[in-house]
């Protein structure tokens, strides 16, 4: 198990949650109406942070202690979107990428490779 934190982890969770898992059970509105938001430690809810940490969502080597919907950032989603589009179109990465973008695409690329190899 790799230990990843911060921005990298947010991006990896975005990849696995957004692209490769069933999101139907993770709609925050449904959580609220079903009273699951505390149990699932939804990040939108300040009280949820006071409950004992436990794994709420996991896939392969990633696991998080909060609801994945609230964990994934808009920035991660934007990178993921661009990654998916370029993948689909078999486009290469642009010549000039900022350091943060380059890092993000490398992370997504390696997650993608692992997925393709391990099924
Ligand atoms: Zn939530």
Give the tokens for residue 1: 């198990």
Ligand 1 centroid, distance to 95 Cα (angstroms): 37
Element (H, E) at 111: helix 99-118
> pLDDT tens digit string along 17-29?
999 998 888 998 8
- Is the pLDDT assigned to residue 14 strictly greater than 90? yes
Question: Which residues fall inside 5 Å of ion ligand 1, going by CB?
Answer: 28, 42, 67, 69-70
| CB burial string 56-83: b at 16+ within 10 A, e below | bbeeeebebbbbbbbbbeeebeebbebb
> pLDDT tens digit string along 72-118?
999 999 999 999 888 888 777 777 788 888 899 999 999 999 999 87
Q: Give the whole-angstrom CA distance, residue 74 versus residue 60.
A: 23
Ligand 1 centroid, distance to 109 Cα (angstroms): 27
Q: Give the whole-angstrom CA distance, residue 119 versus residue 117.
A: 6
Ligand 1 centroid, distance to 118 Cα (angstroms): 29
């Amino acid at each position: 198990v790799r230990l990843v934190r911060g921005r990298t982890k947010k991006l990896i969770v975005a990849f696995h949650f957004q692209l490769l898992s069933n999101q139907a059970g993770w709609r925050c509105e449904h959580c609220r109406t079903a009273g699951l938001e505390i149990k699932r430690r939804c990040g939108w809810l300040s009280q949820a942070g006071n409950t004992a940490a436990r794994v709420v969502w996991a896939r392969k080597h990633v696991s998080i202690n909060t609801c994945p919907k609230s964990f994934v950032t808009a920035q991660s989603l934007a990178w993921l979107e661009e990654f998916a589009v370029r993948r689909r179109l078999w486009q290469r990465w642009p010549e000039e990428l900022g350091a943060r973008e380059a890092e993000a695409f490398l992370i997504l690329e390696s997650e993608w490779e692992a997925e393709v190899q391990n099924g």
